[in-house]
């Protein structure tokens, strides 16, 4: 990891998701499939802003199963041109947006990754993080495998190639039996589109369909909405599907694991207009805001939300409390990838570039500020100071999630408790550190109540993980 990336990580308040995946299968060749994938990835841009890529497959041409991969560092709009994409005729496309957790931020780790095998050409894109990568990599290196990246996605590709003599279905089964962790995969193997979701369902993946028999796979339903596809169902934990000219066929590779989708998808990662495993993200955040007021009522003049993921909870808080909701913070919508600046002065400015208070809304007022989570505390402290400088009389800080105090091993960029303010300070100490008059987190009990059951991974809150020995 480069110095700039390292420093940016430790100065970023939010936890970041590793990536998003999107894929399409058409029974006929099309020129619109790649542009539709572009817009699907655009809808998933919030899941990763470091790089983007897609692999295009023409399985009907003279050179059967032609795979062409386009990828680079940057946002979707920077990597692809819709006009250029229209020059390709294809019937299968897989796409990817990335934020690096395992593997450094460079062009070698951009996805999809691909190669030749006994099954034919393979291209793969992955959202998640493997927890047994070191052991498997050492095994493959001893067998003579060469690695060109530091991404765990390449390891999955190598295992598929190693097992390719067994055919597509068995190769997938054997590969999935060796890997442990979180993964939502989209793959092109020869002339077939494959979707895979890990045994616990930690990372989301859903299936949709457009007119004319076009199938779609996506990390979130919001991307289906964007391209006018109908939601069919979520891919089940421990399931993989194969899509080809005969339609969709489902297979199970693990039915014994305990289902445990990531709770942070609902708190922060997913777009509020997505539905994951039948639960509406918007409703979860709205109810969290209502619960926050009921937990610790406070007298105040205005409720504001931190854009974007804190706004829905702020509206819920305002409606439950009767305190007026106000737009007190403006977010710069044109922020792309950001790197930490070399001087303290420029670092301070970078925070103001992202968010700026509306003085008229907060001046002389007791302000309730609702955010989705508090991770490292650096940005929250600067935000509160900006609101005080704008004339706010009091700041009552509210978090629509429990205290984040443990590592995540499944695709979030929290690898050490030392990064987490909630693991080293009490709530009162955090309140003093960030400069708030009061501080309240959503309780774990209320989060479980809102999510309607306990079958969720809450390891970052509890230190208990759905995969045994994940930290090893």
Pair 188, 84 in one domain: yes
Pair 158, 297 in one domain: no
What percent of the chain is predicted at pLDDT more than 70? 87
Which CATH number fits the domain that encloses residue 202? 3.60.20.10
Pair 253, 281 in one domain: no
Distances (CA, A) of 358 to 31, 289, 329, 396: 46, 22, 6, 17
In the chain, which residues have pLDDT < 70? 1-18, 61-65, 100-106, 149, 334-352, 411-415, 454, 469-472
In a domain, 172, yes or no: yes
Q: Tens digits of per-residue pLDDT, 12-40?
A: 455 445 699 999 999 999 999 999 999 99
Query: What pLDDT score was predicted for residue 341?
Result: 40
Q: How many CB atoms lie within 10 A of CB 213?
A: 12
Which CATH number fits the domain that encloses residue 291? 3.40.50.2020
Name the domain boundary from 259, 294, 328: 259
Query: What pLDDT score was predicted for residue 105?
Result: 61
Query: What pLDDT score was predicted for residue 342?
Result: 43
Query: What pLDDT score was predicted for residue 336?
Result: 47
In a domain, 472, yes or no: no
Query: What pLDDT score was predicted for residue 63?
Result: 54
Q: Tens digits of per-residue pLDDT, 94-120?
A: 999 987 544 456 677 899 999 888 898
Pair 231, 300 in one domain: no
Pair 212, 331 in one domain: no
Pair 208, 304 in one domain: no
Pair 83, 220 in one domain: yes
Contacts of 333 (CB under 8 A, 6+ apart): none
DSSP 8-class letter at 413: S
Pair 288, 163 in one domain: no
Indicate the number of domains in the chain: 2
In a domain, 267, yes or no: no
**C-alpha–C-alpha distance, residues 201 and 198, integer Å:** 5
Query: What pLDDT score was predicted for residue 134?
Result: 81
**C-alpha–C-alpha distance, residues 110 and 50, integer Å:** 9
Pair 302, 433 in one domain: yes
| Domain range enclosing 423 | 276-462
Pair 220, 248 in one domain: yes
In a domain, 405, yes or no: yes
Query: What pLDDT score was predicted for residue 103?
Result: 46
DSSP 8-class letter at 268: I
In a domain, 269, yes or no: no
In a domain, 124, yes or no: yes
Q: How many CB atoms lie within 10 A of CB 470?
A: 20
Query: What pLDDT score was predicted for residue 413?
Result: 62
Tell me which residues are annotated as active site: 19
**C-alpha–C-alpha distance, residues 167 and 174, integer Å:** 10
**C-alpha–C-alpha distance, residues 104 and 154, integer Å:** 13
In a domain, 471, yes or no: no
In a domain, 403, yes or no: yes
**Residues β-bridged to residue 248:** 243
Pair 286, 416 in one domain: yes
Name the domain boundary from 206, 226, 259: 259
Pair 365, 442 in one domain: yes
């Amino acid at each position: 990891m480069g110095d700039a990336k390292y420093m940016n990580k430790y100065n970023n308040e939010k936890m970041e998701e590793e990536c998003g995946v999107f894929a399409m299968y058409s029974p006929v060749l099309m020129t619109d499939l790649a542009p539709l994938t572009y817009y699907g990835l655009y809808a998933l841009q919030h899941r990763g802003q470091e790089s983007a890529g897609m692999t295009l497959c023409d399985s009907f041409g003279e050179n059967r199963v032609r795979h062409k991969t386009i990828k680079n560092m940057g946002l979707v709009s920077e990597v692809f041109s819709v006009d250029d994409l229209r020059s390709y005729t294809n019937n299968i496309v897989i796409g990817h947006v990335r934020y690096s957790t395992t593997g450094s931020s460079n062009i070698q780790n951009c996805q999809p990754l691909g190669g030749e095998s006994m099954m034919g050409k393979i291209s793969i894109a992955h959202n998640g993080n493997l927890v047994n990568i070191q052991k498997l990599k050492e095994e493959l290196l001893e067998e003579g495998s060469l690695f060109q990246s530091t991404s765990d996605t390449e390891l999955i590709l190598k295992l598929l190639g190693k097992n390719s003599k067994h055919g597509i279905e068995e190769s997938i089964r054997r590969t999935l039996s060796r890997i442990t962790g979180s993964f939502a995969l989209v793959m092109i193997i020869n002339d077939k589109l494959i979707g895979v979701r890990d045994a616990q369902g930690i990372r989301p993946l859903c299936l949709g369909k457009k007119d004319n028999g076009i199938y779609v796979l996506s990390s979130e339903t919001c991307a289906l909405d964007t391209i006018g596809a109908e939601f069919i169902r979520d891919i089940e934990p421990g399931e993989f599907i194969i899509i080809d000219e005969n339609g969709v066929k489902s297979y199970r590779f693990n039915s014994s694991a305990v289902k445990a989708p990531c709770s942070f998808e609902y708190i922060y990662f997913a777009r509020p207009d997505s539905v994951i495993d039948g639960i509406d993200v918007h409703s979860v955040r709205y109810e969290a805001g209502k619960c926050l007021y009921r937990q610790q009522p406070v007298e105040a003049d205005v409720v504001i939300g931190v854009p974007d993921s804190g706004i829905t909870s702020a509206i819920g808080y305002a409606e439950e409390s009767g305190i007026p909701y106000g737009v007190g913070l403006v977010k710069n919508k044109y922020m792309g990838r950001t790197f930490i600046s070399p001087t303290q002065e420029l670092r301070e400015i970078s925070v103001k570039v992202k968010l700026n208070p509306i003085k008229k809304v907060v001046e002389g007022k007791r302000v309730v500020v609702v955010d989705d989570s508090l991770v490292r505390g650096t940005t929250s402290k600067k935000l509160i100071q900006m609101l005080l400088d704008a004339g706010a009389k009091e700041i009552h800080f509210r978090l629509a999630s429990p205290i984040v105090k443990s590592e995540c091993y499944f695709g979030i960029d929290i690898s050490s408790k030392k990064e987490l303010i909630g693991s080293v300070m009490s709530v009162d100490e955090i309140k003093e550190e960030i400069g708030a008059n009061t501080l309240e987190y959503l309780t774990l009990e209320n989060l479980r109540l809102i999510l309607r059951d306990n079958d969720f991974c809450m390891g970052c809150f509890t230190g208990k993980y759905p995969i045994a020995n994940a930290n090893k």
